[in-house]
Amino acid sequence: MDPNAHRSESRRPGADAYWQRRFFTLLAGLGVIGLLAWACSGVASGGNSSHGSGSGRPSAAAFSTSTAAPTSPAATSPTPVASPTASPTTSAPATPTASPSSSVSARAAQAKAAPKPTATGPTACPAADLVLTVTPSQPSFGTKDSPAFQVDIVSTDAAACNLDTGPAALRLEILHGGSVAYNSGACLHGAKPHVISLRRGIPVITSMAWNKHQTTTGCVTTVAAATNRTYSAVIAAGGAQSPRSSFRLTGTPATPKAASPAKKTTRASR
């Protein structure tokens, strides 16, 4: 037998084992490459599926994919659906003081809702704006005369005003020296007011009279005023008072009748 042939036969199994190892190594490498490719394709497909899913919160991979690829608007990530906690404007309720326009509108609504003040008439005449004047109808009054007086009332206020001229408010006072002999409002019962309207510079003229009786305490007795005496008349109304106007009461006092002389009786003598 040829020794070279035996040597070649003894060397063939070693060569086959070498190629077998190379083949398995190649298969293993291809398998690893295939696994890596499968893993990469799975990750890519998983990111697209999570990005296109209907969940309300997109993943980070979806945002990275959409920002990295400048594709058409359809390919970019859709606008995330706003949740109640995602927007600070929806989570914090608006207060009335947060917006100036809302406060202005609220004040305007309150002004419209507020009732408007009703128009009022003239007010009472100030005492400082009243000018009162009393004038006796004649300088003296006899026994059969009743003293009468003209009363003039004028307002100097720029606006129209009211004055009560009822019997209790418009009073005639007769003075003798410093004492009051008569007051027309002293002995009244159930007197009603009589309000008149005064305009600036336009006088209101009325008249009053005196019955020559003095005003007594309690108004229970009647006392005639003394004659042959000078008196003063004063008008008072609305806190104002007129100047004094003098007049005189005249009259002859009654004289007592003289007693008739007694008749003498005589007896006839026998």
Q: What is the pLDDT of residues 201-251, one digit of tens each?
A: 999 999 999 999 999 888 888 899 999 999 999 999 999 999 999 999 998
Handedness of CA 67, 68, 71, 76 (dihedral sign): negative
Return the structure tokens found at 185. 């409002």
Q: How many CB atoms lie within 10 A of CB 189?
A: 6
Q: Which residues contact 48 (CB under 8 A, 6 or more apart)?
A: 65
Angle subtended at Cα 230 by Cα 226 and Cα 233, rounded to the nearest 5 degrees: 100
What is the pLDDT at residue 136? 97
pLDDT confidence of 40, banded at 50, 70, 90? confident
Ranked by mean pLDDT, the top range of 69-78, 83-92, 115-124 is 115-124
What is the pLDDT at residue 264? 47
Looking at every residue in the chain, the average pLDDT score rounds to 75
Return the structure tokens found at 251. 């009259």
What is the pLDDT at residue 111? 63
What is the pLDDT at residue 97? 53
The span from the CA of 108 to the CA of 102, in Å, is: 10
> pLDDT digit string (tens) for 3-29?
554 554 445 556 677 777 878 888 888
> pLDDT digit string (tens) for 97-107?
545 566 667 77
- pLDDT more than 90, % of the chain: 41
What is the pLDDT at residue 146? 92
In degrees and rounded to multiples of 5, residue 140 shows phi and psi of -145, 155
pLDDT confidence of 71, banded at 50, 70, 90? very low
Comparing 135 with 25, the larger pLDDT belongs to 135
The span from the CA of 192 to the CA of 40, in Å, is: 112
Average pLDDT over residues 145-149: 95
Alpha helices in the chain (DSSP H): 3-52, 60-68, 88-91, 100-113
The span from the CA of 8 to the CA of 109, in Å, is: 115
pLDDT confidence of 256, banded at 50, 70, 90? very low
Name the residue ranges covered by the structural domains of the chain: 1-36, 123-249
pLDDT confidence of 95, banded at 50, 70, 90? low
| Whether the predicted pLDDT of 200 surpasses 60 | yes
CA proximity to 147, closest of 196, 177, 181: 181
| Whether the predicted pLDDT of 151 surpasses 80 | yes
> pLDDT digit string (tens) for 47-67?
555 444 444 454 444 444 444
Q: Which residues contact 93 (CB under 8 A, 6 or more apart)?
A: none
| Whether the predicted pLDDT of 33 surpasses 80 | yes
Comparing 103 with 96, the larger pLDDT belongs to 103
pTM, full prediction: 0.50
CATH of 123-249, one of 1.10.287.90, 3.40.50.300, 1.10.3720.10, 2.60.40.10: 2.60.40.10
| Cβ proximity of 161 and 197 under 8 Å | yes
